[in-house]
Structure 1
Amino acid sequence: MLATGFRSSFRATASSPPRDSAPIRASASTTSDGCSRSKVSLSEDLRNELAAIAPRSECDRLAELSGLFHSAGSVHLRGRGAVAVHLDVADSAVARRAFSLLRAFGVASEIRTYQRRAFHGATRYQLHIAGDERALQVLHEAGVLSARLTPLSAPPRRVVARACCRGAYLRGALLGGASLSGPRAPHLELRSAEPEGADFVARLAAEEGVNLRVADRGRHAIAYAKGVDAIEGVLALAGAGRSVLVFEESTVLAATRSRANRLANADHANLVRTSRAAHEQLRAIQRLRRTGAFVKLPPQLQEIGELRERHPTFSLRELALTCRPPTTKAAAHRRLQKLQQLAAI
């Protein structure tokens, strides 16, 4: 049984719902305003992907519920020790997911919608959870509320003791308050009401080998990553394989494009060097002809000189194959160098 005492040393939002809020049925196939657009942001794609992942065990469901409420939840004081908890999310898919998680634990909730005054009046979704005994017990087990019904900035260790639970918690945090952009300028943020909550997310990711940084923005704190490797690590831990592939595909394309550019630049540089070398070789041959020394040269040197005059754009390999009999690239190079040395005397 949870104690009913309550302390006020925490952030709490106003207890009155938005004026334009209206309940909706959880089974409705409503989609968010963002999903109806032709271009869906990476953040929306990520939330839709994660919302379709079913937790395999009860501990995963509890950890995911904890991540959701720590990133997007608020506790409301009703007076005389009464408590209500709200969850405010951006997508209907996330709202339905939270509704299903709560229902799996026998907790009743109601989904309502309201229009934001900013951001072009985007639709938001709120889950209203009455503070009955069962709801408070589940939220305590999930590490959202303490035994005295005060909000916890981070859940206790028992909620995220296993690797699967840590992944589920990160999934809940991504569903509730994450922003993802990229892949050209990759950036991932996981929002928390308090710096302690952001620190907890960063420590959780570090346990799985992923490095996140923490920043306090006054009204909220974030755990964030800007590198592709760290972002892919967080997404993989949460089970967002499709979103990971988006970043990996971009990395592969960038590497392929860079390699193609390097090869093109190398080919251009080789052509420039070949052209300059052929020009110097032709000048040497012309000098030898003017002095009458060319006709006195050994047959092999005369042959390579005549081939260079006949084929000024040929590479050394092509000149070597044109010789009779064909010779090696190194041999053709030595013969041309000999012509240049004789012309310089």
Structure 2
Amino acid sequence: MSFASRTKKELTLIEESDCCQRTELEALITANGRLKTIGGRPVLDIETENVAIARRIYTLIKAALTVHPEVVVRKKMRLKKNNVYAIRLSTHPLELLQQLGWNRLPSPGAVEQSVPVLDKRRKRCCQRAYLRGVFLAGGSVNDPGSNSYHLEISASTKALGEILIKMTDAYELHAKLIQRKRGYVLYLKEGEKIVDFMSIIGAHQALLKFEDVRILKGMRNQVNRLVNCETANLNKTIGAAVRQLEVIRFIDEHMGIQNLPNHLREVAELRQKYPEVNLQELTARLGNKVSKSGLNHRFRKLEQIAEQLGK
């Protein structure tokens, strides 16, 4: 089971108050509801490929509308040929929509909410329930172990997308909305914002899993950066030491390091004695009587002497 599927399964087990049950059902119908005409009679289908979400819709309808919907199962004919579960309301579906807040009856096709989804009267808990419903209906989230963080929610219309933006902005998530072939998509790409969204909709177990992986990835990246930095510094130290030893060897062969000025002979002999240490450690070997930059200046003097000797 994917991380997104586990997250949705957790959300379907949340127990809600009556107002939040109706709000979540409203969101599921708005996102996935389709009004059809079968045998000359209107029928409302709420479709999903997730059996846990289908069970959730069935339970919400029974609780909020006190009716017993039908469950219709069909198999997709393309791609993975998954089952599609349709929770069907065939008895007075238009009246039931009015009970949920639709103040004008929709025409056959996708069900669009004519009552503003975000209004001043809506409780904070119901706003969370609405976001939970639209995520169950058309949301997905990448596994936190993947290369990038990504959470998105599909919106059939631009109006619904803009409403979702307003609702998420209330929590300072700053989600983005883009248009795709089959509608609009609200998305988040920052790990912290995705964690905040999962907290808002009540996916606490998924949130902890996401945070665990995110923290582990952060620590691993930090360790890798430190190792790379240390490796680069080590390579730099070794490269400088090798060049200095070559210069000292050349000078010794052509004039003898014993003929160098005392301060240059001292650092030449010290480098020969300690070929693997960096400049900071060499200054310590000299009793810190010369600074790191002063020591580096002496090695440059040795390079100049080697150049004069024909190196």
How far off its partner does 1:184 sit? 2.3
Distance 1:296 1:43 in 2: 72
Shift of 1:340: 4.7
Which amino acid letter does the alignment assign opposite residue 96 of structure 1? R
Aligned residue in 2 for 1:281: 244
Distance of 1:50 and 1:316 partners within structure 2: 60
1:1-345 equivalences under 5 Å are 40-55=1-16, 57-77=17-37, 83-105=42-64, 106-132=66-92, 139-143=97-101, 145-148=102-105, 151-153=111-113, 155-156=115-116, 157-158=118-119, 161-182=122-143, 183-210=146-173, 211-215=175-179, 217=181, 220-225=182-187, 227-229=189-191, 230-286=193-249, 287=251, 290-292=254-256, 294=258, 297-298=261-262, 302-321=265-284, 323=285, 327-328=287-288, 331=291, 334-335=294-295, 337-338=297-298, 340-341=300-301, 344=304
CA separation of 1:309 and 1:333: change in aligned 2, threshold 3 A: farther
Contact 1:63-1:160 within 8 A present in 2 as well: no
Cα gap change, 1:260/1:148 in structure 2, threshold over 3 Å: closer, same or farther? Answer: closer
Deviation at 1:140, TM superposition (A): 2.4
Deviation at 1:65, TM superposition (A): 0.8
Q: Aligned residues, how many? A: 295
TM-score by length of 1: 0.71
**Partner Cα separation in structure 1 for residue 290 and residue 68 of structure 2:** 84
Q: How far apart, CA to CA, are the structure 2 residues paired with 1:164 and 1:194?
A: 24
Shift in Å at residue 138 of structure 1?
Answer: 5.1
Q: Deviations over 1:191-242 (max 9, x none)?
A: 344333333223322332231304252xx42323151345444333222234
SS at match of 1:265: helix
Measure the CA separation in 1 of the matches of 2:237 and 2:44.
Answer: 75
SS class of match (1:120): coil
Deviates more, 1:301-310 or 1:119-128: 301-310
| CA distance in 2: counterparts of 1:233 and 1:61, whole angstroms | 22
Checking the alignment, whether the CA contact within 8 Å between 1:201 and 1:223 is kept in structure 2 is no
Structure 1 residues 76 and 343: alpha-carbon distance in aligned structure 2, compared to 1, 3 A threshold: closer
2:140/2:152 contact within 8 Å kept: yes
After TM superposition, give the deviation of residue 93 of structure 1 in Å.
Answer: 1.2
Please say if residues 225 and 231 of structure 1, whose CA atoms lie closer than 8 Å, have aligned partners that are also in contact.
no
Which amino acid letter does the alignment assign opposite residue 199 of structure 2?
A
2:97 & 2:277 partners in 1: Cα distance?
Answer: 79
Q: Which amino acid aligns with 1:176?
A: A
Query: What is the aligned-residue RMSD (CA, Å)?
Result: 3.4
Give per-residue Cα distances to partners, 1:88-138, cap 9 Å, x unaligned.
111221122112212222232232322222233312212122334xx7555
- Letter of the 1:165 counterpart: C
Q: Which residue of 2 aligns with 1:27?
A: none
Give the TM-score normalised by structure 2.
0.77
Amino acid in the other structure paired with 1:221: G
Counterpart CA distance in 1 for 2:120 and 2:42 is 22
AA of the residue aligned to 1:291: M
CA 1:111–1:296: 2 relative to 1, 3 Å = closer
Measure how far apart 1:267 and its partner are.
2.2
CA contact (8 A) 2:279 2:295 kept: no
Residues 221, 292 of structure 1: alpha-carbon distance in 2 compared, 3 angstrom cutoff? closer
The SS at the match of 2:80 is helix
CA distance change for structure 1 residues 318 and 110 in 2, over 3 Å: closer, same or farther? Answer: same
Q: Is the 2:177–2:185 Cα contact (8 Å) retained in structure 1? A: yes
The 2-side partners of 1:90 and 1:179 are apart by 13
Equivalents in 2 of 1:265, 1:149: separation in Å? 61
State the distance in 1 between where 2:119 and 2:234 align: 66
Q: Distance in 2 between matches of 1:330 and 1:244?
A: 56
